[in-house]
């Protein structure tokens, strides 16, 4: 996959403002960012549903504008919202998909069995989809996305709105399918823990890509570990940290929090020199939350809140 | 293809190759979209029953009730026999519109996206949808055709065949109209409002319930502009040629549609319906083929 200078504008709103990236075959590539960052628009362009205003993109070696059909033959899609026909059974939904994609007739049966087995829905194949739980619907959609053996699978927020346990299951299925079929996966998410499954991540905000790298490299680039301490006198502790170690600390989640390189080695010094009694201490390696924060200056949750404000004019425009 | 094993998989992996776009692929798409309409219709028994209520009311309640005061003007012909072609057209009209409305649901529930990203021509999706809607509406029409004997319409093979062909044509044209509208109208409430606004006037103006000659100028003009007129009139003509009635009754009840005094042949009327259907189908295809 190859994307160059891609941009999409809806009226006054610049949803995507010129992005470049490449995805290698077999890679799992994640788009991380708050709602409204332009992730879904990018996916819609890559899967040929939306025409870009500028730039170009090639998916599975084909141009998304001039070779639309070739792109479509080679991609599988799992959208943010369900796109199943609730009145049809799981099997009927898959059969419809197979027919639309021209899957050879003799291959439909075995392939359908295989993908349904992989997501654990073979026993429920005759049930109407409207009787399925959210997690089952999502699994069925993933199975459907795989049905025609795409070379690239797009997952737009594949686990949004699901409980943590179901999310974990979905990921088990996705990884198993990927292991078997060796395809490229392009996903968007705003869950940090999901981004950890990716080989590489692009952090996106305000329609731009801020940084692209592996999760480990991104975390390393933050450089500091996060240390949280509980004290009897937070104000004194913050002042002491500033004075003795030159560290900026804040109170987050009711604890004095600061970043420091090699935090585990810093803890003994902290106890010896702080001069304020410490009741508890916790050292955490940098998470992708910290990465997001260090690149965008805001947490992903705060970014979501402001993004909702930014999108409001668009929602109005669409309601018209 | 099927059964090809890979090095990593424990079970043989049935790999699939999606073939390049072809006429065969598009034909398969038409067929599956059509099939889906039938499956959905078959599951929705309530819809089959409810859509029969209206024709029953018109035919047996209104028809029977009014026949007493109308008997003076019908020259001995049962009023229900007279309104039968109109009521049949109405049944088809409503069912076809509802079939087209399902496209708006598909959009709201996201299923339309699944079809829109498939590697097939959008036209095959639209054609499949129109054929599906037409088939479903015709099934409804056949149920009404089966009632013919109850209202004095004979079960003559040529009559049944002609009426069936006309209602099939009408069903296709109306579904094409509905699909065309659904391309632009994305909300169910708006779509339903438009349908109400279009269907009732179409039904009343078409001469389903009254003969189309000797009308006031304004009504005659509106009647001739109503596309449904050109389905009701030939259907009535077919029914009346199989009735054994006086020339006076025939003249009063089945005067036929005229353009500036020229009686329009039934074949031309059917062609008008077919042409309008084809035109709306073409517009629908263009609408759906546009990318964002």
Rounded Cα distance between A47 and A57, Å, is 10
Most A-contacting residue of B112, B114, B124 (CB-CB within 10 A), to test interface: B114
Interface of B with A (CB under 8 A): 1-3, 6, 8-9, 11, 13-22, 24-25, 28-29, 31-32, 36, 39-40, 43-44, 106, 109-120, 291-292
Cross-chain residue pair A99–B28, CB shorter than 8 Å: yes
- The alpha-helical segments, DSSP class H, found in chain B are 23-43, 45-56, 63-70, 79-108, 111-116, 122-146, 157-184, 188-205, 217-225, 229-241, 247-253, 266-289
Give contacts of A 63-122 with B, CB under 8 A: 68-70, 72-75, 77, 79, 81-88, 92, 95-97, 99-104, 106-107, 110-111, 113-114, 117
Most A-contacting residue of B119, B121, B292 (CB-CB within 10 A), to test interface: B119
Cross-chain residue pair A107–B9, CB shorter than 8 Å: no
Q: What is the pLDDT of residues B278-288, one digit of tens each?
A: 999 999 999 99
- In this predicted structure, the answer to whether residue A87 has a pLDDT above a threshold of 50 is yes
Q: Token pair of B209, please?
A: 């319930």
Please report where in the chains the tokens 């999108």 appear, as a residue: A311
ipTM entry: 0.84
Q: Token pair of B35, please?
A: 């099939």
Rounded Cα distance between B139 and B118, Å, is 29
pTM of the model: 0.82
Going by the DSSP 8-state scheme, the letter that residue A204 receives in this structure is E
A275 exposure class (CB count in 10 Å sphere: 0-12, 13-18, 19+): exposed
| Residues of chain A positioned with their CB less than 8 A from the CB of B21 | 69, 73, 102
Q: What is the pLDDT of residues A217-270, one digit of tens each?
A: 888 877 778 888 888 888 888 888 888 888 888 777 678 888 888 888 888 888
Rounded Cα distance between B7 and A180, Å, is 9
Please report where in the chains the tokens 């053996």 appear, as a residue: A149
- In this predicted structure, the answer to whether residue B207 has a pLDDT above a threshold of 60 is yes
In Å, how far are A201, A231, B105, B130 from B42, measured between CA atoms?
A: 47, 69, 17, 17
Quick check: helix, strand or coil at residue A120?
Answer: coil
Cross-chain residue pair B18–A111, CB shorter than 8 Å: no
Strand partners, A258: A227
Rounded Cα distance between B91 and A18, Å, is 54
CA A232 to chain centroid = 39
| Residues of chain A positioned with their CB less than 8 A from the CB of B115 | 100
Contact A158, A174 (CB under 8 A): yes
Rounded Cα distance between B238 and B233, Å, is 9
| Mean pLDDT along residues B131-146 | 92
Considering only CA atoms, which of A162, A111, A154, A114 is closest in space to residue A138?
A162
Q: What is the pLDDT of residues B143-200, one digit of tens each?
A: 999 999 999 899 999 999 999 999 999 999 999 999 999 988 888 999 999 988 999 9
Cross-chain residue pair A79–B110, CB shorter than 8 Å: yes
Q: What is the pLDDT of residues A150-207, one digit of tens each?
A: 999 999 888 887 888 888 888 888 888 888 888 999 998 878 778 888 999 998 888 8
Considering only CA atoms, which of A302, A245, A304, A234 is closest in space to residue A272?
A245
**How many Cβ atoms from other residues are within 10 Å of residue A172's Cβ?**
11
CA B231 to chain centroid = 10
């Amino acid at each position: 996959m190859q994307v160059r200078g891609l941009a999409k504008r809806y009226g006054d709103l610049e949803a995507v403002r010129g992005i470049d990236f490449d995805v290698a075959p077999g890679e799992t590539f994640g788009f991380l960012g708050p709602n409204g960052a332009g992730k879904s628009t990018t996916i819609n362009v890559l899967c040929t549903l939306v025409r870009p205003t500028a730039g170009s993109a090639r998916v599975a070696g084909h141009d998304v504008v001039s070779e639309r059909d070739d792109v479509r033959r080679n991609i599988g899609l799992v959208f943010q919202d369900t796109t199943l026909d609730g009145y049809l059974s799981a099997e009927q939904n898959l059969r419809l998909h197979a027919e639309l994609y021209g899957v050879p007739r003799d291959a439909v049966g075995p392939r359908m069995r295989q993908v349904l087995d992989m997501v654990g829905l073979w026993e429920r194949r005759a049930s109407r989809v409207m009787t399925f739980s959210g997690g089952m619907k999502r699994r069925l959609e993933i199975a459907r996305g795989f049905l025609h053996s795409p070379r690239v699978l797009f997952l737009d927020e594949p686990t949004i709105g699901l409980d943590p346990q179901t999310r974990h299951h979905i990921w088990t299925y996705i990884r198993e399918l990927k292991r078997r079929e060796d395809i490229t996966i392009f996903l968007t998410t705003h869950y940090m823990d999901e981004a950890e499954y990716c080989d590489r991540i692009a952090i996106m905000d305000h329609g731009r890509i801020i940084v692209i790298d592996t999760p480990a490299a991104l975390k390393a680039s933050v450089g500091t570990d996060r240390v949280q301490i509980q004290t009897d006198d937070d104000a004194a502790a913050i002042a002491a940290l500033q004075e003795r170690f030159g560290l900026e600390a804040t109170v987050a989640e009711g604890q004095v929090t600061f970043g420091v390189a090699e935090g585990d080695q810093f803890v003994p010094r902290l106890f010896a020199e702080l001069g304020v009694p410490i009741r508890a201490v916790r050292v955490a390696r940098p998470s992708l939350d910290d990465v997001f924060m260090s690149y965008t200056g805001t947490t992903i949750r705060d970014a979501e809140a402001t993004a909702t404000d930014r999108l409001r004019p668009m929602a109005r425009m669409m309601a018209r | 293809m099927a059964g090809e094993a890979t090095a990593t998989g424990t079970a043989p992996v049935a790999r699939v190759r999606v073939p390049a776009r072809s006429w065969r692929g598009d034909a398969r798409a038409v067929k599956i979209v059509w099939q889906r309409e039938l499956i959905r219709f078959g599951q929705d028994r309530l819809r089959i029953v409810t859509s029969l209520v209206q024709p029953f009311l018109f035919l047996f309640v209104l028809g029977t009730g009014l026949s007493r005061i109308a008997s003076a003007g019908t020259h001995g012909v049962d009023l229900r026999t007279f309104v039968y072609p109109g009521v049949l057209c109405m049944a088809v009209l409503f069912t076809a519109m509802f079939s087209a409305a399902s496209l708006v649901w598909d959009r709201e529930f996201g299923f339309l996206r699944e079809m829109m990203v498939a590697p097939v021509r959008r036209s095959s999706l639209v054609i499949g949808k129109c054929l599906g809607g037409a088939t479903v509406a015709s099934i409804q029409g056949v149920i009404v055709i089966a009632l013919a004997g109850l209202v004095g319409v004979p079960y003559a093979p040529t009559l049944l065949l002609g009426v069936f062909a006309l209602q099939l044509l009408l069903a296709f044209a109306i579904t094409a109209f509905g699909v065309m509208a659904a391309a632009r109208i994305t909300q169910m409430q708006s779509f339903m409002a438009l349908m109400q606004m279009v269907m009732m006037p179409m039904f009343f103006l078409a001469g389903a319930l009254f003969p189309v000659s000797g009308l006031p100028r304004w009504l005659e003009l509106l009647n001739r502009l109503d596309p449904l007129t050109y389905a009701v009139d030939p259907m009535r003509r077919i029914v009346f040629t199989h009735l054994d009635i006086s020339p006076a009754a025939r003249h009063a009840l089945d005067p036929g549609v005229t353009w500036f005094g020229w009686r329009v042949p039934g074949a031309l009327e059917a062609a008008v319906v077919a042409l309008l259907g084809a035109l709306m189908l073409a517009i629908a295809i263009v609408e759906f083929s546009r990318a964002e």
